[in-house]
Amino acid sequence: MTVDFNSTLDTQQSQLPLEVWAGLECTVNRVGDKYFDQLERNGHATRLDDLELFAQLGIQAIRYPVLWERIAPNGLENADWSWPDERLGRLRELGIRPILGLVHHGSGPDHTSLVDPDFPEKLAEFARAVAERYPWVTYYTPVNEPLTTARFSGLYGHWYPHGRDDLTFGRALLGECRAIALSMKAIRQVNPNAQLVQTDDLGKVYSTPKLAYQAELENERRWLTFDLLCGRIDSNHPMWEYLQICGFSEAELGWFRENPCPPNIMGINHYITSDRFLDENLENYPAWTHGGNGKDKYADVEAVRVCLEGAAGPRTLLKEAWERYKLPLAITEVHLHCTREEQLRWLYEVWNAAQSVRSQGVDVRAVTVWALLGTYDWNSLVTRWVGNYESGVFDLRSPTPRPTAIAKMVRDLATGNQPDHPLLEIPGWWHRQERLLYPAVSCGEIVSGGNAKISNISVSSAPLAIVGARGTLGRAFARLCEVRGIKYRLLSRQEMDITNQDSVDAVLAELKPWAVVNAAGYVRVDDAEHEPDVCLLNNTEGAANLATACARYNVPLLTFSSDLVFDGTVTNPYRETDTVAPLNVYGCSKALAEKLVLKVNPASLVIRTSAFFGPWDDYNFVTIALRQLSAGNTFTAADDSIVSPTYVPDLVHASLDLLIDGESGLWHLANQGAIAWADLARLAAKTAGVSVSNLIARPTRELGFIAPRPAYSVLGSDRGELMPSLDNAMSRYFDELEKL
């Protein structure tokens, strides 16, 4: 199917249903002489099949990159159009409107920059070439977030040309906005129907009374992209004097009044942390938040972390933008770096905010699900390549992009269906008490995008049933559900005996949980050799009883298995499809449990894991080793048994995300790394600064174990490597211990 996109927007379009758009993080930013390319990092540069996955979401439009730096780094005469030719053609066949981005947080090829006087004309030349090659494309964003990019490149020094002054900021912003106007002029000479979808972040700033002058400046400055393009800036504009300081001449500002280029759609890119709070009381905040303006020193923190009333939220910003410009609006980026349920809650809140203001007459056209493939290293503002990955609608840690729970929500929204995940009934962290990290203050008129007051978890929402109240894993699930805002019920054996089918049925009928986590079971590997019936009853029959009941009540089940289902005769990490061959009773009980659970309830999620360590119990290997070595006692560990240790908090978080995503079948989850038990003790001791002189390494056969163990039981995965490295986990283990 080929679709003609040349029809123009009209007033009737505002009466159509709210559209679902999407976008993929595609920043190509420059730091010094290095270009950081998100399309290379996320693999979309070489995966045409991604477009089929995007189409399955039911989206109507996609913000899509045809980036100057990628297509014509060495001039138009040497441009390579093969990549956009193939992909734009496929989008057209799939019926998805592309909104073409030409510069996304970038500064152009290395022969130009944001402060190059010729940057606008050079980008306009590229824009004309794009329009000539793709005359059927109607929607354009020549420069993404001009104000944000100018701030990061000209005021804060993060990106090229690394300015830290108002003059560089002003030159960058002027160049970007001129480039937008000239680019659209060039595009419209080819396609008169071309539409400008102009994006920027409109986050608000709040402050103490002393710093009200700085907040006022920043709250006026946030509109500059749109005020310039709409030709609104003259000598009566509140920012006139500031713009003079930034190096704008009257003639330069007058050019925008003579050549207005108002957006056809204003795109608002809003994040929970976009709203800021300024406070001169530095002692209340960590040093990394401290800054200033040359006149006053102050901390700059997320408003949601300090303001009693919460953050302004999307509803407030949409209404402000509409009242100021009366232009059609879209939310052009919705993304949250957080756990899966919080990502769902944020998207749903933004969607509902857009629907709400539409009902009040505000012309909102679309909500854009951002970061289809996730993002890389935005926790450091893409100033270095570390590999910090945030998943999005799809998770790239699997061999092919794996749809997350967000994908289902997007499909629901795009098809007019009501999202119904029970976790949506619980307020996001930005509405809960724990959001306040600093002394709370009143920030005035803030009206939150969802619920302004600090909310508690809904008492009416269905809980997550966690079986295994006495065990390390069950307690960890309860602890992290508390942190994540997931209502739960931690069940002891007295409350639910999984070896008794009637007990299981009764509890499920009463609780009506949205899912069940089986963290119970028999864990004494050596004792199991002497009491196999007890081990099998708890690990095998109990798990099968739960699976049977969950199938009957149509409740998702998450249960755990072990690396001890393998015999250790290989030297490469075990995958989910490898044949099980347990050496001991405990391993047999887990292998049989896997088989029975998936037979009676194929929708179950069965996670194999290995060698727990964590900060919240005193009886795991790492904690015991450190306690003994720190006390000057000897500690003996095997030097010939290779495992993949699992940091319990990582395991719980990854398991919950998979459960929420609706995954099923066998998964392997362990931190990435293979290590002998003795070397694990050395690693922990070295990280803690503890002497290993009393560590004794011995072959496994000399340690007196009753149950035979595999010499190698490292877990890998064909389904997805979701867990961080062992070194990373060990570092966070000690960070968490310091908080206790």
Catalytic positions, please?
Answer: 586
What is the C-alpha radius of gyration for the chain, rounded to an integer number of angstroms?
28
Q: What angle do CA 210, 324, 232 make, to 5 degrees?
A: 90
d(CA 648, CA 658): 15
Amino acid sitting at position 127: A
- Spatial neighbors of 283 by CB under 8 A, at least 6 apart, are none
CB 551 within 8 Å of CB 501: no
- Spatial neighbors of 643 by CB under 8 A, at least 6 apart, are 563, 610, 611, 674, 675, 676, 677, 680, 713, 714
- Indicate the SS3 state at residue 344: helix
d(CA 194, CA 185): 9
DSSP strand pairing (557-562 vs 290-292): unpaired
Least Cα distance to 376 among 727, 58, 57, 44 occurs for 44
- Spatial neighbors of 308 by CB under 8 A, at least 6 apart, are 440, 441, 442, 443, 454
- Indicate the SS3 state at residue 516: strand
**CA 293 remoteness from chain centre:** 32
**What CA–CA distances, in Å, run from 72 to 82, 126, 133, 468, 719?**
11, 8, 14, 59, 37
Least Cα distance to 692 among 703, 680, 702 occurs for 680
Least Cα distance to 519 among 470, 481, 566 occurs for 470
For residue 244 the two structure tokens come to: 């003079």
CB 640 within 8 Å of CB 711: yes
**Alpha carbon distance, N-terminus to C-terminus of the chain:** 60
- SS3 sequence of 643-697: ECCEEHHHHHHHHHHHHHHCCCEEEECCCECCEEHHHHHHHHHHHHCCCCCCEEE
- Spatial neighbors of 559 by CB under 8 A, at least 6 apart, are 517, 518, 543, 546, 547, 593, 597, 604, 605, 606, 607
- Indicate the SS3 state at residue 63: strand
Burial tier of 220 (Cβ tally within 10 Å: 0-12, 13-18, 19+): middle
How many residues would you count in the chain? 740
Segments of 519-634 assigned E as strands = 557-562, 605-609, 612-613
**What CA–CA distances, in Å, run from 304 to 179, 415, 452, 700?**
35, 33, 11, 53
Least Cα distance to 100 among 75, 125, 136, 72 occurs for 136
- Spatial neighbors of 198 by CB under 8 A, at least 6 apart, are 141, 180, 225, 226, 229, 263, 265, 266, 267
What b/e string do you get for 410-425 counting C-beta neighbours within 10 Å, with b at 16 or more? bbbbbeeeebebbbbb
- Identify how many contiguous H helices and E strands the chain contains and give both numbers: 23, 30
- SS3 sequence of 112-137: CCCCCCCHHHHHHHHHHHHHHHCCCC
**What CA–CA distances, in Å, run from 663 to 130, 344, 580?**
41, 16, 22
DSSP designation for 513 = -
Q: Treating both helix axes as pointing N-terminal to C-terminal, what angle do 472-484 and 648-661 enclose, rounded to 10 degrees? A: 60
